[in-house]
Structure 1
Amino acid sequence: MKVKVFIVDDHAVVRSGLRAVLDAQSNITVIGEAADSASCIKQALELKPDIVLMDLSFPNGRDGLYTTRELLQSLPEIKVIVLTMHDDEQYLFRALKAGASGYILKSSPMTELVQAIEQVYQGLVYLHPSATKKVIQGYLQGQTKETKDVFESLTEREKEILSLVAKGYTNKEVAELLLISVKTVENHKANIMEKLQLDNRRDLMKLAYRRGLLDFD
């Protein structure tokens, strides 16, 4: 099954170039295109694409961020990839807040755009490299004092176990490394999750990364 893509850009030359490249892919087909917000929403409701490639700047005042929000309210199953010239932190975070699943620059090679489409279609998020760096920096800088204080409430043994678990060690492996029982490891993990108000291993890994506990040396 081919990924159904819809292109939104106010420049006809850009739309034409994108369509030519994407239609040449064996697993992608362009099912429509639009030059403005109103046309995008109207056609998307009819065509129901899998992915919308969304420019940010339109001439009529309703930009790509507005269109993304409106589109996802009506068709939440659609994925939006912002395709823009703006390598700017402000636009990046606004796009993600609007619900975009991808952010890629128009200056990127077409191979990267194809990769982004494939990745987002699979349910993942795709950000071009400099955008990824901005997100990580923003995430680290957004760490609150409350989170820091809660982390400091962990015992040294709990921090040690947190680090090992985040690195992928099993309960049994942690127990063997620390010369304690598996049951003790499980109890420590439960205490860690409760203290830090974490719901799953992914959240635990994020916190371990922020706290510098993922040094594999």
Structure 2
Amino acid sequence: MRTETGTTERTHERVRLVILAAHAVVRAGLRHLLDNRDDLVVVGEASSCEEAAAMAERERPDVLIVDPDAEQITLRALPALAVSAGRIIVLTAAKDNRVHARAVQLGAAGVVCKDQPGELLVRAVEKVHAGEVWLDRAKTAGLINLVLRRQRDPEIVKIETLTKREKEIVRLVANGLKNSPIAEQLFISEATVRNHLTSILSKLELSDRFELAVYAFRHGLVDDALMHSFVLGSDNGNTHVDIA
């Protein structure tokens, strides 16, 4: 920019942002917060992962802000989105360290909780754009411990591939329910239950429902107190478990 004295004043290029959030009111609020700054500019909004991927390919934003709290936007989309977006910040209401760790594992450079002040998101954008990682200070120790646990127990990575519905079915199987009552409780067909079980066994590399029930208790997918609900008795020292 040319000044009145004829010298050239160097201007800072604005950080280009794309917002991915399912709800229009969330996108509008984020745009209002971020677009009112001289150093930031929102170049696009998207309500789905597909729309965001196309927009990132076209706009090549410096930072993509992702709200994964709606069903149609999941953390599993982060690797694909990272191909075109410079850096990714996840904005979430989730407090669970596992969600934050999963976001980082899948490519997020920053995670911001929704109950934090708006100015904190602005700072996160600035730091992430500068090449740093932004994490909630109070959660950093927990995230490090979780990463170390993953290194010790590779099964955690498998468990995180299960969908919410699949985890519900795992808990019900471990609680001794057969396909028919599971279907009734979840308001789905028995065929759908069987399909979910096939997917679960494949993801966890297990052979049958008995192995699944044992696996669920061993890896904390259900409360140990439920064990009594499907132990029916013993014969010659062998325990019988009704999970057919």
From 124, 128, 138, give the equivalent of 1:130: 138
Q: Take 1:47 and 1:101, find their aligned partners in 2: how far apart are those partners?
A: 19
TM-align CA RMSD: 1.8
Q: Take 1:26 and 1:10, find their aligned partners in 2: how far apart are those partners?
A: 26
Matched, 1:18 2:30: yes
1:193-204 matches, cutoff 5 A: none
Matched, 1:2 2:10: no
1:100-119 matches, cutoff 5 A: 100-119=108-127
Matched, 1:84 2:89: no
From 62, 68, 78, give the equivalent of 1:68: 78
Equivalent residue letter for 2:97: E
Q: Take 2:101 and 2:130, find their aligned partners in 1: how far apart are those partners?
A: 22
Q: Take 1:22 and 1:134, find their aligned partners in 2: how far apart are those partners?
A: 30
TM-score (norm 2): 0.54
Q: Deviations over 1:34-63 (max 9, x none)?
A: 111111111111011000001113443xx3
Aligned to 1:150: none
Q: Deviations over 1:67-109 (max 9, x none)?
A: 211112x32x610000011111121111111010000111110
The answer as to whether partners of 2:101 and 2:147 remain within 8 angstroms in 1 is: no
C-alpha spacing 1:10/1:142, structure 2 compared with 1 (3 Å):
closer
From 37, 49, 62, give the equivalent of 1:50: 62
Unaligned runs of 5+ in 1: 145-217
Alignment coverage as a number of residue pairs: 140
Matched, 1:38 2:50: yes
Higher Rg: 2
Deviation at 1:112, TM superposition (A): 0.6
Q: Take 1:128 and 1:49, find their aligned partners in 2: how far apart are those partners?
A: 24
Aligned to 1:195: none
Q: Take 2:42 and 2:116, find their aligned partners in 1: how far apart are those partners?
A: 19
C-alpha spacing 1:57/1:142, structure 2 compared with 1 (3 Å):
closer
Deviation at 1:137, TM superposition (A): 3.3
The answer as to whether partners of 2:98 and 2:146 remain within 8 angstroms in 1 is: no
Give the number of the structure with larger relative contact order, counting CA–CA contacts within 8 Å between residues 6 or more apart: 1
Deviation at 1:136, TM superposition (A): 3.4
Q: Take 2:150 and 2:52, find their aligned partners in 1: how far apart are those partners?
A: 35
The answer as to whether partners of 2:14 and 2:41 remain within 8 angstroms in 1 is: yes
Q: Deviations over 1:120-167 (max 9, x none)?
A: 0000000122332322333566787xxxxxxxxxxxxxxxxxxxxxxx
C-alpha spacing 1:140/1:68, structure 2 compared with 1 (3 Å):
closer
TM-score (norm 1): 0.60
Query: Which structure carries more helix by proportion?
Result: 1
Equivalent residue letter for 2:75: L
C-alpha spacing 1:129/1:59, structure 2 compared with 1 (3 Å):
same
Aligned to 1:190: none
